[in-house]
C-alpha cells in the first residue's frame, strides 16, 4: 500500500469520510454514472409533482410551457457544465470550505446558516409531497393551496415519520444518497411517464393538436396566482436551481467527479424531470380540474388544491402513491445532505451524521407547514435570488482574479475572518434588485441574473481596492 493511499485513508478518517475540509483524493473520484442517477432521481422527484400543476394555475400557454422549458432547461445544463462542474473538478472543495477561504470564517457562518435553513425548507416541502401520498389510506385531509399550518394530528404523525426515515438515509453520506437515487429514479421516471400517458387518455387526447389545446393560448391565472408568460417560464426554469449551479452549491457534489463532463449528466434531471415530469404532472392536474370537486372550488373563486398523492393515485393507483413517496425522498435526501454540510461548516466538530440529523429535524418541522410546498414557485425564486449572487464571488474570482489583479482565497492568505468585499458586493446587489422587484413589481427570477453579475463585478472592484489598501 502506497504512502499516498495511507494519507488518503487518514484524511477520510479525520473528516468522517466526506472530505469536508480537504480536496477529494483521486482514489475517491466517481464516474459520470453516479451523477446521472443522482440528478435523474433528484430532478424527476417531489418538486415536479408540485411545479407542473402550479404552471397551470399560472395560466401558461402551450408555446410558453413547451418551448420555454426547452430553452430554460438548456441554460441550466450549460450553467452546471461550464461553471459549477468546471470549478468543482479544479478545486475539489465543498462550497462551504471554498467560501471560508474567500470570505473568512465569521462571514461564512451567516451564509452557511442561511443556505442550510433554505435547503431544509426545500426538503421540508418534499416531505410534504410524500405525506400527501402516505395519507391516502388514512383518509387524511389534504392541504389546500392557501394552507399554511398543519391541518390535523394525522398529518403531523405522517410527516414526522417520513422525515425521520429520510434523515437517516441522508445521514449515511454521499454514497448512500447516490445509491438511493440510483435505485429509486427508474421507478419514479416510469411513474411520471405512466401518469402522463394515462392523463392524456383521460383527457381524450388523440393528436398533437389535442395535446397543444390543453394549454392553448393560456388563460387567466387562478385566484391568488401570478400570470406566467414565455419569459417567466424560460427564466424561472433556468434559475429554479440557481443556488445549485450559478450559486455553486453543487461544488459539493461535483468535487467527486473525474472530469467536468460529468456536468452534462444534469441534462437527465432537466429533460426527464424538469421537462417530461413537469408536463406529466400538469396533465394530472388538468384531469383533476375537470372534476366536480375542482369546479366547485373555481365557482367559489378559490384555486383547487394541488395534492400530488391523490393526483397520482387517480391516474395509476397504488403505483402512483408509491412513486410520490419515493419522489419526495429522492429530492429531500440530497437536499438534507447539502444542508448538513452547510451546518458542519458552522459546527466542524460535529460528525457528518449528527449535522445531517439536525438538518433533517429542521426539514421535518418545515414539512409540517404546507405553505412551503404550496408556494413552491415563489419560494424557489426567492431562495435562488438570495443565494445565487454568492456563487458569483467564486466564479468571478476563479476566472478573473489574475485579470483583476487580486489575491485568490484572500481571507485564507491574509488570515482575516470577515471579507468586507464579499459582504458589500452581496448586500448592494441583493438590496438594489430586491428593491426593484418589490417597488416595480418585477418577477424576482428576472432580477436574479443582473444581481449575480453585479455581485461578481463589485466583488472584483472592492477586492482590488481593499487589498491595495491592506498592502499599503
- At 30 the three-state DSSP class reads strand
Q: Is residue 272 part of a domain?
A: yes
Which pLDDT band holds residue 175 (cuts at 50, 70, 90)?
low
Residue 345 above 90 pLDDT?
no
Q: Tens of pLDDT along 411-463?
A: 999 999 999 999 999 999 999 999 999 999 998 999 999 999 999 999 999 99
Average pLDDT over residues 319-339: 81
CA distance 448 to 408: 25
Q: Which residues pair with 257 in a beta bridge?
A: 30
- The vertex-276 CA angle with 220 and 309, nearest 5°, equals 75
Q: Is residue 151 part of a domain?
A: yes
pTM: 0.84
- In terms of C-beta density within 10 A (0-12 exposed, 13-18 middle, 19 or more buried), how is residue 352 classed? buried
CA end-to-end span of the chain, whole Å? 50
**Could you tell me which residue, 401 or 20, shows the higher pLDDT?**
401
Phi, then psi, of 30 in degrees rounded to 5: -120, 150
The total number of structural domains that make up the chain: 1
Residues sharing a CB contact under 8 Å with residue 139, sequence separation 6 or more, in sequence order: none
Q: How high is the pLDDT of residue 9? A: 36
Size of the chain in residues: 472
Phi, then psi, of 257 in degrees rounded to 5: -75, 145
Q: Is residue 424 part of a domain?
A: yes
Phi, then psi, of 248 in degrees rounded to 5: 75, 10
Q: Is residue 14 part of a domain?
A: no
Q: How high is the pLDDT of residue 5? A: 35
Q: Is residue 20 part of a domain?
A: no
Residue 471 above 80 pLDDT?
no
Q: How high is the pLDDT of residue 181? A: 63
pLDDT, the chain, mean: 86
- At 65 the three-state DSSP class reads helix
Q: What range does the domain containing 274 cover?
A: 27-466
Q: How high is the pLDDT of residue 7? A: 31
CA distance 436 to 443: 10
What are the grid coordinates assigned to 105, written together? 470564517
Q: Is residue 432 part of a domain?
A: yes
Q: Is residue 131 part of a domain?
A: yes
Q: Which residues of 199-226 are buried (b: 16+ CB within 10 A; e: fewer)?
A: bbebbebeeeeebeebbeebeebbeebb
Residues sharing a CB contact under 8 Å with residue 87, sequence separation 6 or more, in sequence order: 248, 251, 394, 395, 398
Q: Is residue 21 part of a domain?
A: no
Report for 28-32, 65-69, 297-301, 308-312: range of highest mean pLDDT: 65-69
Q: How high is the pLDDT of residue 13? A: 33
CATH of the domain at 225: 1.10.4160.10
CA distance 132 to 152: 13
Q: How high is the pLDDT of residue 183? A: 73
Residue 222 above 90 pLDDT?
no
241 touches 76 (CB < 8 A): yes
Amino acid at each position: 500500500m502506497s504512502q499516498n493511499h495511507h494519507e488518503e485513508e487518514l484524511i477520510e478518517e479525520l473528516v468522517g469520510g466526506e472530505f469536508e475540509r480537504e480536496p477529494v483524493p483521486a482514489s475517491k473520484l466517481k464516474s459520470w454514472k453516479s451523477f446521472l442517477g443522482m440528478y435523474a432521481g433528484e430532478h424527476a422527484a417531489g418538486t415536479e409533482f408540485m411545479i407542473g400543476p402550479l404552471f397551470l394555475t399560472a395560466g401558461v400557454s402551450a408555446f410558453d410551457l413547451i418551448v420555454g422549458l426547452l430553452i430554460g432547461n438548456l441554460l441550466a445544463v450549460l450553467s452546471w457544465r461550464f461553471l459549477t462542474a468546471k470549478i468543482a473538478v479544479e478545486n475539489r472543495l465543498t462550497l462551504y470550505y471554498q467560501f471560508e477561504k474567500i470570505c473568512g470564517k465569521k462571514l461564512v457562518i451567516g451564509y452557511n446558516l442561511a443556505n442550510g435553513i433554505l435547503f431544509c425548507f426545500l426538503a421540508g416541502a418534499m416531505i410534504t409531497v410524500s405525506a400527501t401520498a402516505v395519507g391516502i389510506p388514512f383518509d387524511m385531509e389534504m392541504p389546500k393551496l392557501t394552507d399554511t399550518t398543519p391541518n390535523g394530528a394525522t398529518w403531523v404523525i405522517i410527516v414526522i415519520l417520513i422525515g425521520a426515515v429520510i434523515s437517516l438515509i441522508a445521514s449515511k453520506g454521499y454514497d448512500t444518497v447516490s445509491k438511493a437515487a440510483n435505485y429509486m429514479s427508474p421507478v419514479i421516471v416510469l411513474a411520471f411517464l405512466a401518469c402522463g400517458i394515462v392523463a392524456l387518455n383521460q383527457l381524450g387526447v388523440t393528436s398533437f393538436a389535442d395535446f397543444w389545446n390543453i394549454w392553448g393560448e393560456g388563460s387567466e391565472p387562478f385566484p391568488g396566482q401570478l400570470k406566467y408568460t414565455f419569459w417567466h417560464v424560460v427564466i424561472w426554469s433556468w434559475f429554479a436551481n440557481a443556488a445549485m449551479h450559478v450559486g455553486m452549491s453543487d461544488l459539493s457534489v461535483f468535487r467527486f467527479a473525474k472530469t467536468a463532463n460529468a456536468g452534462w449528466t444534469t441534462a437527465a434531471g432537466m429533460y426527464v424531470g424538469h421537462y417530461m415530469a413537469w408536463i406529466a404532472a400538469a396533465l394530472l392536474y388538468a384531469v383533476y380540474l375537470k372534476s366536480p370537486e375542482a369546479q366547485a372550488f373555481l365557482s367559489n373563486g378559490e384555486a383547487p388544491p394541488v395534492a400530488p398523492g391523490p393526483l397520482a393515485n387517480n391516474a395509476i393507483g397504488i403505483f402512483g402513491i408509491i412513486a410520490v413517496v419515493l419522489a419526495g425522498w429522492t429530492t429531500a435526501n440530497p437536499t438534507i445532505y447539502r444542508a448538513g454540510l452547510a451546518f458542519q461548516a458552522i459546527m466542524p466538530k460535529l460528525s457528518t451524521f449528527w449535522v445531517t440529523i439536525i438538518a433533517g429535524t429542521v426539514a421535518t418541522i418545515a414539512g409540517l407547514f404546507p405553505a412551503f410546498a404550496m408556494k413552491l414557485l415563489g419560494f424557489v425564486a426567492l431562495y435562488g435570488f438570495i443565494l445565487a449572487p454568492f456563487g458569483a464571488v467564486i466564479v468571478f474570482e476563479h476566472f478573473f482574479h489574475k485579470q483583476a489583479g487580486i489575491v485568490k482565497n484572500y481571507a485564507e492568505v491574509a488570515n482575516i475572518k470577515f471579507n468586507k468585499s464579499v459582504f458589500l458586493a452581496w448586500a448592494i446587489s441583493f438590496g438594489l434588485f430586491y428593491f426593484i422587484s418589490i417597488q416595480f413589481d418585477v418577477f424576482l427570477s428576472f432580477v436574479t441574473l443582473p444581481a449575480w453579475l453585479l455581485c461578481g463585478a463589485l466583488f472584483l472592484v472592492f477586492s482590488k481596492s481593499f487589498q491595495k489598501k491592506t498592502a499599503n
